[in-house]
Structure 1
Amino acid sequence: MKDKRILYVSSEVVPYLPETTLSSTAFNVAKYAHSKGVQTRIFMPRFGVINERRHQLHEVIRLSGMNLIINDMDMPLIIKVASIPKERMQVYFIDNDEYFKRKAVYTDEDDNLFSDNDERMIFFAKGVVETVKKLNWAPDVIHVHGWMASLLPLYLREFYKEEPLFTESKIVTSLYGNEFEGELNKEIANKVRFDKINNKKAAIIETPNHANILKSAIENSDAIIKVEEAYSDEIEEFISKSGVKVLNYQPEDLLTEAYLDFYKQEVLELQDI
């Protein structure tokens, strides 16, 4: 795996957000791969709760400046970057004042999901791809963590399917537990269709609950990783019928090495010399 390129795209990453299974797993897996000579890049949203001064974020002018079309609206893309102390790992932050300036992550002060979380997801997915294109950095593996990132597989398979930079990229999605209750904005499927995305694939998220968001990511991935020991029968059945490659639950002390072996043996199908 030395010198292979892995793009980690996560809703949350420590130390920028509080430690959770999601934020720590995304960080630890990237850190381990990096320590083994893998070229890594990490992308996450620049939520307003992130302390830019403490974490030394700075805007990358050469990458910023473009507008992304979200449901027929021009939304400016701002790219910021920071380095994780002691690790020499770069983290790129997808930012936009309308979507990410608020001092919260997914919900308001009453713990209600933001009504524009659907557009934030689309913006994040497009922002990641457009930034990687500007970097001209073709990843061998794209590893997706968290529901805010989970439209990326769909956009790579449909909206960006003609993009040569990702022709050989394999998509891996880690499945976490029920990260939100209720549903996202019911217009999400129509907003995805605005981008000329296959109607059948958009239909999966007509009812935009957590299970259906996961199904969309599974359907458009080459492989999935089960972060939890058990999922609902609905998700287990969907995984079984999808035919994607699966890495089953790994205990914390084994997961980083297991993930790297999974990339090598199952996702990239590399042979030992």
Structure 2
Amino acid sequence: MNGKKILFVSSELVPYLPENEVSLMSYETPRMVNSKGGQIRIFMPRYGNINERRHQLHEVIRLSGMNLVINDMDMPLIIKVASIPKERIQVYFIDNEEYFKRKATFTDENGDMFADNDERAIFFAKGVVETVKKLNWNPDIIHIHGWMSSLLPLYLRKYYADEPLFADSKIVLSVYGKSFEGSLDKDLIKKVTFDGIPDDAVSLLQDPTYNNLLKIGVNYSDAVILAAEGIPDDMLSHIKNSQKPVLPFVPLQEFEEAYANFYDTEVLK
């Protein structure tokens, strides 16, 4: 991993959000790469329930100020940054008042998914790419964690297909167990095709369930990591049929060598 550049993009990350499978592995994997001499960047959304004062987030003016078009609306992009002190790891936060100010991550006080979670996912994907372009940092690997990040492979391979910065980047998708019931806004497919992405590339999004979002992620990734046990059979079949390199589930205590070896021998080969 020495000298390799790896971009980590995650829906959730400890210590900024409570610990779960996604947030813990989103922390442990870059920590491992960092310890092995790799260069890392981490991106996550700046949800309103992240305590900015406690975690010392501050806006990066030179990276903020751009507008992203989401479904024909101009949405301002704000970039904030913080450090995980004991690891000396920097984290970039994608922010927007409309999408991320509310004091919750994915659901309201009744446990119902936010109606605009689909637009938040598009905004996050575009925001990550545009910020990495401003940083002029070309990653060897882009490692995706969590469903809010699942549209990034699609956008990189279709919307940003001609962007030279990512021409040689390999995309790895970590697939976790099911995390929400039902589906996102049924108009998600229209909002994606508004960006010039062809209908046939995203037909699965006619029913934007958790599994279908992740299947789209698999379709446009170069390799897949099974990051949890109990992944649904139809998802496992889709992954197998994709004929992409797959790392089977590895417990947290054993993941470091397995992930590093997978990066080196399957992803970067």
- Retained in 2: the 8 A contact 1:10–1:149? yes
Match of 1:17 in 2: 17
Match of 1:117 in 2: 117
Q: Where does 1:105-254 land on structure 2 (aligned, <5 Å)?
A: 105-254=105-254
1:92, CA displacement in angstroms? Answer: 0.1
CA distance in 2, matches of 1:118, 1:255: 31
Q: TM-score, normalised by structure 2?
A: 0.99
Structure 1 residues 84-93 or 56-65, which shifts more? 84-93
2:179 alignment partner AA: E
1:133 alignment partner AA: K
Match of 1:68 in 2: 68
CA distance in 2, matches of 1:71, 1:98: 14
Match of 2:87 in 1: 87
2:27 matches 1:27 = yes
- Retained in 2: the 8 A contact 1:150–1:213? yes
CA distance in 2, matches of 1:179, 1:38: 30
CA distance in 1, matches of 2:193, 2:74: 17
Match of 2:47 in 1: 47
- Retained in 1: the 8 A contact 2:218–2:242? yes
SS of 2:14 mapped into structure 1 = coil
- Retained in 2: the 8 A contact 1:32–1:257? no
CA distance in 2, matches of 1:74, 1:64: 14
SS of 2:224 mapped into structure 1 = strand
CA distance in 1, matches of 2:46, 2:98: 12
SS of 1:9 mapped into structure 2 = strand
Q: TM-score, normalised by structure 1?
A: 0.97
CA distance in 1, matches of 2:21, 2:108: 22
CA distance in 2, matches of 1:99, 1:237: 34
Match of 1:99 in 2: 99
Give the number of equivalent residue pairs.
Answer: 269
- Retained in 1: the 8 A contact 2:227–2:249? yes
Compare the two structures and name the one with the higher helix fraction. Answer: 2
SS of 1:112 mapped into structure 2 = coil
1:192 alignment partner AA: V
User: Kindly, what percent of the aligned residue pairs are identical?
Assistant: 61
Structure 2: gaps of 5 or more residues:
none
Instruction: Show CA shifts across 1:121-149 (max 9, x none).
Output: 00000000000000000000000000000
2:262 alignment partner AA: F
Structure 1: gaps of 5 or more residues:
none
Match of 2:5 in 1: 5
